[in-house]
Chain A
Amino acid sequence: MRDFFDIKSNDNALFVTEQCNNHCLMCCQPPRNVDDIDKLYQKNQHLIRSAPKELKVLGITGGEPTLLGEKLFDLIAEIRQFLPDTELHLLSNGRSFANEAFAQRLAEVSEGMIVVGVPLHSDYERDHDKISGCKGAFAETMYGLYNLADAGVPIELRIVVNKLNFIRLPHIAQFIFKNLPFVSWTAFMGMEQTGLAHKNHNAIWVEPVDYVDLLAQAVFYLGSWGLDACIYNIPLCLLPETVWLHAEKSISDWKTQYSAQCDKCLKRQQCCGLFGTSSEEYVGLNPFMS
């Protein structure tokens, strides 16, 4: 995380705590139980005051930002005051919003200028709980999603594809249409092989080549019901051409790297590239030469 804002970057974010109430098997930012909230809050206050007013999007991330409680709303109020035209992108596991009043407070204080990115690991409760490392997480996240929707807060649903959930991707898509049709869009995300994802490699790592067909099925299914889906963090050469229009340049620019093979690739400009932070490259990279 940088200590300044770069107006040209696609990723400017406030890091608000290392604490988290989930312990996801593939977390790229492993949680730590440290008393860091006040210290980071002060630092972020300074960042907000010195930020360029033209900043389009500002992320709020952690750890789990909602563990700040009322302080999170103070922070958002400050952003609204000093950066009135900046949209917020809050990353949260959504569990705190199982409290209806908490979701309503977020809606009030963010004044319609927020999207909340919430990971859903599976349509099956026990898989979700296992991946998020916390029993009961699925139920709380689902309540949270409903309360956010009820409060009128736009939601980005995030499915981080891993070995424990890829087989159910089409079922997850069906579950989303039947139970969460109000989300603004669903993002299917390739894993960043760092942090816990690196440590738990054997339990959770899966190569995109092994799941892209199921991923395409899920994306097409959502599309057939008029729901938006996008794909983050998977380079174009690993995706069937039929889903390219869903692929986004999603990797934070300061993390993006290209493999040596990518130098000659004709699609490099359109491609999200690779995580510079990952310990290994994806299998099957295949530059477009003509």
Chain B
Amino acid sequence: MDDRAALHIFVLTLQCNQGCTYCQASSRDKHAESCTMSKEVLKRSVEFMFQSPAHVLTMEFQGGEPSLHPELVRYGIEVAENLRKQQSRDIRYVLCTNCVDVNDDLLSLCKEFNVLISTSLDGPEWLHNRNRGKADSYQKVVAGIKKAREVLGNNAVSALQTTSVMALDHPIGIVDEYVRMGFHDMFLRALNPYGLAANNDDWSQYTDRFVEFYKKAFEHILELNRQGISFVEDFATIILRKILTPFDSGFVDLQSPAGIVNSVLVYNYDGNVYTSDEGRMLAEHGDYTFCLGNVFDQYEDIVYGPKVQQLAQVWSAETLAGCFDCAWRPYCGADPVRNHSTQGDVYGFRPSSLLCRKNKTIITYLVSLIIERYDEVMPIFKNWLQ
């Protein structure tokens, strides 16, 4: 019954070799000091992760840019492999990298331990480079993806798209770029109001424009599928799996009880443990609400401690005003961290919540497609869900 967190995020460093306009991860210059994890903290963090009773652990390396410290990636995996063998556990590794600096050594490490690569591609060259604040970012990322695929196989490399304000007018071009790059799926992802992205001017307008962007991109993806190109939109697939099947994708952002603590824990470079990626991003701006303690504390004191007890009051959509009686509650989730960061309290106020508006509109759109265009969309959706 007590399965607990499966996804464990290790923020190895805040150093980064890019300067993205929408950076949500509080990255710093690649020579910045005192923002990289020590081996001692890393070892203790891995041991902490192994106290989680989840059937399959996922160890995700993040930053900043973790590939700037391949020695830490290797050390973390070595410590984990030792414990995995001792305890006969299952574990999978994910390296979140911008692919700019992937080299042979790093890739052979990935090959040795079946590390999956999760990278980031914003769309066509001009858009990607403008988002990244570099003139050659696109070429480097594309070369990195190609290299990683050659060594690890096509399926070991996935990419995340992020919709900057500039991207909002280019849904078709962005989808086509993913198809052209040989990806079989993409996640149409809105900006989250954390880090640099939080400085965006008008979030209400952004949300409405994002939903329009999403629908246009989605219609284009449906059209591609009708033409026989099997191409999946991942956010819709997560929701459709909840609507149409008895299964769940385990996507931490749409869960009730919320994904924080229950499905994910974050180990920051300094050894502090956070509820989620967003929780530690707030801390970089001086808000420690979601800091649960330190990896040198007892596991039980963190996962069942006073902060988690408080959060547990507000992490179930079934008990939240504006959620419990919502028709889309079974397909949505609770997000106390987002409520806190955008509305100033963990409970949240649904009528003015932009996350609520976005999720409600997209879920309504998907349900409408099933009702109004059943024969057309169902073969495509079933194909995505297999």
Q: List 7 A-B contacts (CB under 8 A).
A: A177-B246, A179-B246, A181-B247, A224-B382, A225-B245, A225-B385, A226-B386
Report how far A88 CA is from B246 CA in the complex, Å. Answer: 29
List, in ascending order, chain A residues with CB within 8 A of B382's CB: 224-225
Digit string of A206-226 for contact with B (CB within 8 Å is 1, else 0)? Answer: 000000000000000000111
Secondary structure dominating the interface of B = loop
A178 CB–B CB distance under 8 Å = yes
Are B386's CB and A181's CB within 8 A? no
List, in ascending order, chain A residues with CB within 8 A of B246's CB: 177-179, 181
Digit string of B243-274 for contact with A (CB within 8 Å is 1, else 0)? Answer: 00111000000000000000000000000000
Digit string of B180-219 for contact with A (CB within 8 Å is 1, else 0)? Answer: 0000000000000000000000000000000000000000
B residues lining the A interface (CB < 8 Å): 245-247, 379, 382, 385-386
Digit string of A147-184 for contact with B (CB within 8 Å is 1, else 0)? Answer: 00000000000000000000000000000011101000
Are B386's CB and A177's CB within 8 A? no
- Smallest CB-CB separation from A225: which chain B residue? B382
List, in ascending order, chain B residues with CB within 8 A of A226's CB: 386
List, in ascending order, chain B residues with CB within 8 A of A179's CB: 246
- Closest Cβ–Cβ distance, residue B241 to chain A (whole Å): 12
Report how far A177 CA is from B245 CA in the complex, Å. Answer: 7
Total interface residues on A, CB under 8 Å, equals 7
Q: 10 more A-B contacts (CB under 8 A) besides A178-B245, A225-B386, A226-B386? A: A177-B245, A177-B246, A178-B246, A179-B246, A181-B246, A181-B247, A224-B379, A224-B382, A225-B245, A225-B382
- Closest Cβ–Cβ distance, residue A36 to chain B (whole Å): 41
List, in ascending order, chain B residues with CB within 8 A of A177's CB: 245-246
Number of A-B residue pairs at CB separation under 8 A: 15
- Which of B245, B247, B379 neighbours the largest number of chain A CB atoms within 10 Å of its CB? B245
Report how far A179 CA is from B385 CA in the complex, Å. Answer: 17
Report how far A178 CA is from B247 CA in the complex, Å. Answer: 9
- Smallest CB-CB separation from B382: which chain A residue? A224
Contacting residues of chain A (184-238) with chain B, CB-CB under 8 angstroms? 224-226
Report how far A44 CA is from B210 CA in the complex, Å. Answer: 70
- Smallest CB-CB separation from B385: which chain A residue? A225
- Closest Cβ–Cβ distance, residue B330 to chain A (whole Å): 13
Report how far A179 CA is from B246 CA in the complex, Å. Answer: 7
Report how far A179 CA is from B245 CA in the complex, Å. Answer: 9
List, in ascending order, chain A residues with CB within 8 A of B379's CB: 224
- Closest Cβ–Cβ distance, residue B230 to chain A (whole Å): 15
List, in ascending order, chain B residues with CB within 8 A of A225's CB: 245, 382, 385-386
List, in ascending order, chain A residues with CB within 8 A of B247's CB: 181
List, in ascending order, chain B residues with CB within 8 A of A224's CB: 379, 382
- Closest Cβ–Cβ distance, residue A189 to chain B (whole Å): 24
List, in ascending order, chain B residues with CB within 8 A of A178's CB: 245-246
- Smallest CB-CB separation from B247: which chain A residue? A181
List, in ascending order, chain A residues with CB within 8 A of B245's CB: 177-178, 181, 225
Report how far A261 CA is from B382 CA in the complex, Å. Answer: 42
- Which of B246, B247, B382 neighbours the largest number of chain A CB atoms within 10 Å of its CB? B246
- Closest Cβ–Cβ distance, residue A183 to chain B (whole Å): 12
- Closest Cβ–Cβ distance, residue B338 to chain A (whole Å): 31
- Smallest CB-CB separation from A180: which chain B residue? B246
Report how far A225 CA is from B246 CA in the complex, Å. Answer: 11
A-B residue pairs, 9 tightest by C-beta: A178-B246, A226-B386, A224-B382, A181-B246, A225-B382, A179-B246, A177-B246, A225-B245, A177-B245
- Smallest CB-CB separation from B379: which chain A residue? A224
- Closest Cβ–Cβ distance, residue A31 to chain B (whole Å): 34
Report how far A265 CA is from B118 CA in the complex, Å. Answer: 59
- Closest Cβ–Cβ distance, residue B140 to chain A (whole Å): 40
- Smallest CB-CB separation from A178: which chain B residue? B246
List, in ascending order, chain A residues with CB within 8 A of B386's CB: 225-226
List, in ascending order, chain A residues with CB within 8 A of B385's CB: 225
Digit string of A98-141 for contact with B (CB within 8 Å is 1, else 0)? Answer: 00000000000000000000000000000000000000000000
- Smallest CB-CB separation from A224: which chain B residue? B382
Report how far A9 CA is from B128 CA in the complex, Å. Answer: 67
Report how far A177 CA is from B385 CA in the complex, Å. Answer: 13
- Smallest CB-CB separation from A179: which chain B residue? B246
- Closest Cβ–Cβ distance, residue A172 to chain B (whole Å): 15
- Closest Cβ–Cβ distance, residue B202 to chain A (whole Å): 42
- Closest Cβ–Cβ distance, residue B383 to chain A (whole Å): 9
Digit string of A9-23 for contact with B (CB within 8 Å is 1, else 0)? Answer: 000000000000000
- Closest Cβ–Cβ distance, residue B269 to chain A (whole Å): 41
Report how far A62 CA is from B139 CA in the complex, Å. Answer: 70
Report how far A41 CA is from B379 CA in the complex, Å. Answer: 52
List, in ascending order, chain B residues with CB within 8 A of A181's CB: 245-247
Report how far A78 CA is from B324 CA in the complex, Å. Answer: 55
- Smallest CB-CB separation from B378: which chain A residue? A224
Report how far A226 CA is from B383 CA in the complex, Å. Answer: 10
- Closest Cβ–Cβ distance, residue A226 to chain B (whole Å): 5
Report how far A181 CA is from B379 CA in the complex, Å. Answer: 19
- Closest Cβ–Cβ distance, residue B316 to chain A (whole Å): 23
Report how far A225 CA is from B382 CA in the complex, Å. Answer: 7
Report how far A178 CA is from B246 CA in the complex, Å. Answer: 5
- Closest Cβ–Cβ distance, residue B374 to chain A (whole Å): 13
- Closest Cβ–Cβ distance, residue A174 to chain B (whole Å): 11
- Closest Cβ–Cβ distance, residue B323 to chain A (whole Å): 24
Report how far A224 CA is from B386 CA in the complex, Å. Answer: 9
Report how far A181 CA is from B245 CA in the complex, Å. Answer: 9
Report how far A24 CA is from B386 CA in the complex, Å. Answer: 36
Report how far A158 CA is from B246 CA in the complex, Å. Answer: 21
Report how far A226 CA is from B245 CA in the complex, Å. Answer: 12
Report how far A178 CA is from B245 CA in the complex, Å. Answer: 6
Report how far A5 CA is from B331 CA in the complex, Å. Answer: 54
- Closest Cβ–Cβ distance, residue A175 to chain B (whole Å): 11
- Closest Cβ–Cβ distance, residue B357 to chain A (whole Å): 30
- Smallest CB-CB separation from A182: which chain B residue? B246
